[in-house]
Structure 1
């Protein structure tokens, strides 16, 4: 059975490899943007000749508009044309932003550039996740794991590219009171958005600016540039531009038809199918007022609970990345600044390795089992970090284990929720937006708590977030059972409708997922 499953998934990938590689590559762009700001923030402060408190505005600008971009990204996912167009424009914008950042010598211009990059990042986040779920449906876990591996890869590469060009001393000539060690400490502290501990640090804003950080941004712009070019080439090859043949402009529904036939071992003989009016679904159409009387409370409960799970677990990722350095250099851990600086890299490396190793594991474990193992692992790791809070060795071991366990929560949660809701498309936008909101808000909360209660509260906050996320996951499991029972007894809705349109057989379901549909078809029609 397992070899057949692998063969089927490989066949699906061969059918959609160009689009899949496109979504993976744009997530590499997303990763580049995620991690570059922290290491370069002091050089950007010198470039804009602003204070430490002023430069932290760019963090908020990028994160806030990333949240907005995640929310509106779903509007560009209605058709394949709009999805690829939005991704091409977004990745091109990222390259342009990288190229113009060295030219932003005013804080307002830099904040505006970060806001534009945040919008592009948010659109990439929502569209890529949504399109992969639409294409692969019940098999999407494997491909979502690979997708999120690329964001980790980009987040690892970005600081490595920037590191050779970072200033070893204060980059505004005229202030010699800060040495290399304290500058490194300040850089790592600012990378965590922790402005409370640096409010008493005053650096000169006037003088000659000496920094080579421009080269790092231009290198990242060049590395990212082939991605939008590749998307435009793909659109041209598939005649998806306005000048192309209308019959070739596929809707996502056409890709879904192709995928459904692929899962049952069938293949299309006619290539591209006729556009199905039913596939032209607006964002959140499953929640429109006209359909409210048909939807159970469990439908909305699944969206809310799934969003809350990712709200807390993405909040753990954001807060741990942001404040593990501050926790490590403070008593009782009191690690050297240079040693503590490696913790963030270890965490991101563990997340990347975890997502890479999760790709083959996803063949054998269902998303719900994967999620249980991952969340229990996160909670146990945080508990052990609390118990051994005085051990610097276990801090590195725990950071590595935490990254490995938490790496698969987002893609598995996304695949599970969409499977429960039969791939209506609303869940992906809600979950991505909730995750972005959690990463943004919980970082602020953890920073405030650490400032007022001490560094030990950092791990305690992570433990609370992990337990809250797991509680909401358990509630989601029970709501899922009620929702499945409801959909199975829907009146005036037969389990399977068999339609004939232009000689092409399609199927729609009420209460059955894609695997159950294929099993039902095989049982009533051996030829299918």
Structure 2
């Protein structure tokens, strides 16, 4: 069980620059992931494209985020390679923010978002992996703080963009007159676009100009975000300088401060305790010792759990507005538009709160409590489906319960496999895939079965995730010996032969 004792604080103090750098990198991740929804209408005007064309930019970002997650998993886990990847990725994000105002065609914008998505995927995998291998059994608390910074960046991004968003049509058509009344509530349309899986199929119902004079000021928002993000690659560069990983700092670069090593005894192959960033190949057959089936089953179960839970987060954030403005709730557009902000704010607050809880309870217990809480909240939302007030309460509670499932699952799964590093890549890719695929599937169900099916789908999938986690615990308990390190396996075999 992870505890914030003096030893952990001492470890955190010694790793302070590294830890703070990885946290700032995830702030950059959150900044990039949240800006597209609020600004997409102004980007549509800038590129003079239709809604159906511009919403493919969402897909471009999500797909290449998945690709980037895989690329990050293939990178070597040495400090030089990891920090170089983080530096280039965070710098790319700043450059993408700077060049987006120059993309006057939807294809160019999609390419820019693909680059940003790939950079985000690399950040997601590499930063998680480096902190897990740095803190190992104490990583749960640190990962909670890491994912808190995603929420912080996601809260800052819309606040920066909001003053520069158009209040009316940002393309003045040829037949536009001063007395014309714009046919749509733009805020309603912006909030609807958060569930872009549905908009792709219904974009034709929104009659917006594609030709005329473009009057958007959204470029200033992107340039401000580019400046806000610039300190992040600078921080990564400073860490590389501190660790003498730059060619100009030393002829023989040190891969890690000696102060970061815990203990002076030689490490076992593939496991060195706190501070070690060298992990063996997670799928090395020689290290599985006949337990390859268990190895892959547990990875599959862990991946399926975060596939579902991150998919629930994506689909809830994407379609809660659509659900709220539809019968029987029929909430006002302004009130319904607050639900998404409440949800992300509660996720951010939940990750901050679980930093304290993770120091007092075991990770499996916290995961069971979180997953059971998600099910109970969604069941209550189904029961009180006519209450607008409870929708706000339930949205807040759902965000608090589901906020920490991914960081806890990552810490728990890596602990099961003694930090070989494979779990981080599998879980990050599964989470990205779930967020992309479940939004699409839920959007299709809503279009065919109605808005109530939105909550029903989330409740069923969350119940499945709890069952999968209980199965994971059962299999892990039966096959605990499958996760011993090579040195421990040899000792146990020698002990068996002697007795």
Provide the TM-score with structure 2 as the length reference.
0.91
Matches of 1:357 and 1:90 in 2, distance apart?
29
Equivalent of 1:186 in 178, 185, 189: 189
How does 1:238-253 map onto structure 2 within 5 Å?
238-245=243-250, 247-250=252-255
Task: Report deviation, 1:290.
Answer: 5.2
Cα 1:289–1:397 change in 2 (3 A) is same
Aligned length in residues: 484
Q: Any idea what SS the aligned residue of 1:250 has?
A: coil
How does 1:23-62 map onto structure 2 within 5 Å?
23-62=22-61
Contact 1:169–1:180 (Cα < 8 Å) also in 2: no
Contact 1:31–1:152 (Cα < 8 Å) also in 2: yes
1:151 matched to 2:150? The reply is: yes
Contact 2:271–2:419 (Cα < 8 Å) also in 1: no
Q: Which moved more, 1:421-430 or 1:237-246?
A: 237-246
Deviations 1:277-301 (A, max 9, x none): 9989998822145556543421111
Q: Any idea what SS the aligned residue of 2:136 has?
A: helix
Contact 2:270–2:278 (Cα < 8 Å) also in 1: no
Q: Which moved more, 1:388-397 or 1:282-291?
A: 282-291
1:447 matched to 2:446? The reply is: no
Task: Report deviation, 1:454.
Answer: 0.4
How does 1:498-517 map onto structure 2 within 5 Å?
none
Matches of 1:417 and 1:162 in 2, distance apart?
38
> What is the match of residue 68 of structure 2?
69
> What is the match of residue 385 of structure 2?
389
Cα 1:492–1:55 change in 2 (3 A) is closer
Q: Any idea what SS the aligned residue of 1:148 has?
A: helix
Equivalent of 1:314 in 304, 310, 314: 310
1:287 matched to 2:287? The reply is: no
Matches of 2:26 and 2:188 in 1, distance apart?
30
Deviations 1:298-323 (A, max 9, x none): 11111000000000000000000111
Provide the TM-score with structure 1 as the length reference.
0.86
How does 1:353-502 map onto structure 2 within 5 Å?
353-487=349-483, 493-495=490-492
Contact 2:96–2:116 (Cα < 8 Å) also in 1: yes
Matches of 2:84 and 2:189 in 1, distance apart?
40
Q: Any idea what SS the aligned residue of 1:321 has?
A: helix
Contact 1:374–1:409 (Cα < 8 Å) also in 2: yes
Cα 1:363–1:277 change in 2 (3 A) is closer
Deviations 1:197-256 (A, max 9, x none): 4332121100000001001101100000011011112211221013443643316xx88x
Task: Report deviation, 1:5.
Answer: 4.4
Cα 1:29–1:496 change in 2 (3 A) is farther
Cα 1:284–1:336 change in 2 (3 A) is farther
> What is the match of residue 210 of structure 1?
215
CA RMSD of aligned residues (A): 2.7
Gaps of 5+ in 1: 262-267, 498-528
> What is the match of residue 116 of structure 1?
115
> What is the match of residue 497 of structure 2?
none
> What is the match of residue 78 of structure 2?
79
Matches of 1:13 and 1:45 in 2, distance apart?
45
Matches of 2:236 and 2:364 in 1, distance apart?
34
> What is the match of residue 220 of structure 1?
225
Higher relative contact order (CA 8 A, sep 6+): 2
> What is the match of residue 201 of structure 1?
206
Q: Any idea what SS the aligned residue of 1:494 has?
A: helix
Gaps of 5+ in 2: 495-499
Matches of 1:153 and 1:161 in 2, distance apart?
13
> What is the match of residue 94 of structure 2?
95
Deviations 1:442-493 (A, max 9, x none): 0000011001110001101110110111111011001111221445699961
Cα 1:282–1:65 change in 2 (3 A) is farther
Contact 1:41–1:187 (Cα < 8 Å) also in 2: yes
> What is the match of residue 518 of structure 1?
none
Contact 1:169–1:178 (Cα < 8 Å) also in 2: no
Matches of 1:153 and 1:146 in 2, distance apart?
10
Task: Report deviation, 1:102.
Answer: 0.3
Q: Any idea what SS the aligned residue of 1:285 has?
A: coil
Cα 1:167–1:230 change in 2 (3 A) is same
Task: Report deviation, 1:365.
Answer: 1.1
Q: Which moved more, 1:190-199 or 1:110-119?
A: 190-199
Cα 1:305–1:277 change in 2 (3 A) is closer
Matches of 2:121 and 2:34 in 1, distance apart?
15
Cα 1:73–1:28 change in 2 (3 A) is same
Matches of 2:157 and 2:489 in 1, distance apart?
55
